[in-house]
Homo-oligomer: A and B are copies of this chain.
Amino acid sequence: MLTKGQETRNRIIQTSRQLFTRQGFQNTSISEIIAATGVKKGNLYYHFPSKEELGIAVLTDARDEFYTILDNSFAGKKPEAKIIHSCDSIMALMQQTNFVGGCLFGNTALEMTDSSSRFGIIVREVFSRWTDMIAKELHQVATTSTGPINPNILATAIVAILEGGIMLSRVYNDKTHLNNCISIIKMLVENKN
Task: Return chain B residues, CB-CB under 8 Å to A93.
Answer: none
Could you pull out 11 A-B pairs where Cβ atoms are within 8 angstroms?
Answer: A106-B110, A114-B170, A127-B168, A152-B180, A153-B184, A156-B165, A159-B164, A162-B164, A163-B163, A163-B167, A184-B188
Residues of A within 8 A of B (CB): 22-24, 26-27, 100-102, 106-107, 109-111, 113-115, 120, 123-124, 127, 147-149, 152-154, 156-157, 159-165, 167-168, 170-172, 176-177, 180-181, 183-184, 187-188, 191, 193
Known: A106-B110, A113-B171, A156-B177. 12 other contacts (CB 8 A): A23-B26, A109-B167, A114-B170, A124-B172, A156-B165, A156-B176, A157-B161, A157-B181, A159-B164, A160-B160, A163-B164, A163-B168
Are A180 and B161 within 8 A (Cβ)? Answer: no
Report the minimal beta-carbon distance from A185 to chain B, rounded to whole angstroms. 8
Majority DSSP secondary structure for residues of A touching B = helix
Q: Taking A106-B110, A115-B23, A165-B157 as contacts, is the C-beta distance between A188 and B193 under 8 angstroms?
A: yes
A160 to B168, CA, bound (A): 7
Report the minimal beta-carbon distance from A41 to chain B, rounded to whole angstroms. 23
Task: Return chain B residues, CB-CB under 8 Å to A115.
Answer: 23
Chain B, residue nearest A114 (CB):
B100
